[in-house]
């Protein structure tokens, strides 16, 4: 029976398999938290990247404060896995989801949600009231600080929403969130920093406006891997939410340089060679995503990867020895979060010896 175990070498793994270099991953965690924590901000890592309560706990052990999740179904799995201090960063809308939120909140009262509309706030408040839950749910107003996705406009519209929330007895407004996702991958560091600082002014300015109106705004949360260091340096920001830094991908490496290492790869095997300068490997669209460009073979700069259907990919080269049937190659994903969502298991190794095996616990948790 196929059953790889800690102590096995990577050669024991069938392919495609998702592998994590623990030395590199731990260095990424130490580097991000080592930079941010001394500034006084909390680091609430976005767990949409790792999809694993075990990894969330490793981040907490390193100094993180709970975690963010994008979806309610991710929160359910994280909470069941022992991660209590969770912020759900997407709006909770619709009867089925609100009912799930109420059930989750009953068991896990530290869960927090963002909202950007009076309709959403009223819906959640009513469900909590009908459920007879006395303690108020902690909520944050989601602000649009330039991404043009969710989030109410900063300033007066946000204040009006705060006043609405203030009238709802089952909700307690504790903060504001403003995610500047459109800036994370800007290659020009100066442009990334300047635009980020402008977004942070909208966020902290609205937090101040709400405080002047009497609201106790304790949390001002924002940022991702590309901007966290700038956010942490802006007055009024209390918390940052980077996620991808733990593993990185080629897209982020191209934008940020080698600030963090690519610690996760997808191990592949050459399954066919039918001519010079080209082999076919067993990773295609089912194991590597392509929304942010194509994956790259690790340590093989002369080889270029092109997906070739669901299960196949072509590696081609113009000069050099290339690869032979049966050779193995580690592919660095171009976009880490959705690539992880294609796999069941992480094989974490140190210098080629498997040390830990983690399930991708929130894989497929899209609701
Ligand atoms: C609201 C929010 N915060 C933080 C992040 C983390 O960003 P990254 O993985 O780029 O560090 C994301 C990613 O999509 C997000 O949607």
**Structural domains in the chain?**
10-17+258-359 (2.40.37.20), 25-246 (3.20.20.10)
Check residue 134 and give its pLDDT: 86
Find out whether the peptide bond into 313 is cis, omega within 30 degrees of 0.
Answer: no
Atom of ligand 1 nearest to the CA of 90: 1
Task: Report the distance separating Cα 246 and Cα 29, nearest Å.
Answer: 6
The per-residue pLDDT for range 156-204, each reduced to its tens digit, is 999 999 999 999 999 999 999 999 999 999 999 999 999 999 999 999 9
Whether residue 55 contacts residue 30, with contact meaning beta carbons closer than 8 Å, is answered with: no
- CA of residue 348 to ligand 1 center, whole Å: 23
Q: Do the Cβ atoms of 242 and 43 come closer than 8 Å?
A: yes
**Ligand 1 center from residue 80 Cα (angstroms):** 22
Show the 3-state SS of 302-366. Answer: CCEEEECCCCCEEEECCCCCCCCCCCEEEEECCCHHHHHCCCCEEEEEECCEEEEEEECCCCCCC
Query: Residue 63: phi, psi to the nearest 5?
Result: 120, 0
Quick one: pLDDT at residue 338? 98
Which pLDDT does position 279 carry in this prediction? 98
pLDDT in tens, 107-128: 999 999 999 999 999 999 999 9
Atom from ligand 1 closest to the CA of residue 241: 4
Q: What is the pLDDT of residues 258-314, one digit of tens each?
A: 999 999 999 999 999 998 999 999 999 999 999 999 999 999 999 999 999 999 999
d(CA 240, CA 221): 6
Main-chain dihedrals φ then ψ at residue 27, nearest 5 degrees: -65, -40
From the CA of 191, how far away is ligand 1's center (Å)? Answer: 19
* Ligand 1 first shell, C-beta below 6 A: 46, 49, 68, 89, 179, 181, 184, 224-225, 241-244
What atom in ligand 1 is closest to the CA of residue 184? 10
Q: pLDDT tens across 61-75, in order?
A: 999 999 999 999 999
What's the gap in Å between 328 CA and the centre of ligand 1? 32
């Amino acid at each position: 029976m196929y059953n790889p175990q800690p102590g096995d070498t990577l050669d024991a793994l069938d392919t495609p398999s998702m592998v994590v270099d623990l030395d590199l991953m731990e260095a990424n965690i130490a580097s991000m938290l080592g930079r941010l924590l001394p500034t006084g901000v909390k680091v609430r890592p976005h767990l949409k990247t790792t999809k694993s309560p075990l990894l969330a706990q490793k981040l907490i052990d390193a100094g993180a404060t709970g975690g963010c999740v994008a979806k309610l179904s991710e929160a359910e799995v994280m909470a069941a896995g022992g991660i209590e201090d969770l912020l759900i960063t997407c709006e909770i809308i619709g009867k089925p989801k609100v009912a799930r939120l109420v059930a989750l909140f009953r068991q896990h009262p530290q869960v927090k949600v963002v909202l950007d509309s009076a309709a959403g706030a009223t819906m959640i408040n009513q469900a909590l009231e009908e459920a007879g839950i006395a303690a108020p749910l902690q909520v944050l107003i989601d602000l649009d600080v330039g991404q043009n996705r969710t989030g109410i406009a900063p300033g007066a519209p946000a204040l009006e929403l705060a006043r609405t929330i203030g009238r709802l007895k089952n909700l307690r407004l504790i903060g504001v969130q403003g995610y500047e996702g459109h800036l994370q991958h800007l290659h020009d560091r100066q442009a990334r920093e300047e635009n980020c600082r402008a977004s942070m002014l909208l966020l902290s300015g609205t937090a101040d406006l709400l405080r002047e109106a009497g609201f106790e705004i304790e949390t001002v949360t924002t940022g991702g891997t590309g901007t966290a260091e700038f956010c942490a340096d802006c007055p009024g920001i209390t918390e940052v939410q980077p996620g991808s830094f733990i593993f990185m991908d080629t897209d982020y490496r191209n934008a940020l340089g080698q600030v963090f290492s690519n610690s996760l790869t997808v191990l592949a095997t050459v399954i066919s060679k039918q001519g010079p300068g080209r082999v076919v490997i067993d990773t295609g669209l089912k194991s590597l995503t392509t929304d942010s460009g194509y994956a790259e073979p690790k340590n093989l700069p002369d080889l270029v990867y092109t997906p070739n259907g669901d299960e196949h990919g072509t590696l081609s080269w113009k000069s050099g020895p290339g690869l032979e049937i049966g050779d193995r190659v580690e592919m660095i994903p171009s976009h880490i979060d959705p690539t992880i969502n294609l796999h069941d298991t992480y094989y974490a190794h140190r210098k080629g010896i498997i040390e830990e095996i983690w399930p991708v616990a929130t894989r497929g948790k899209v609701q």
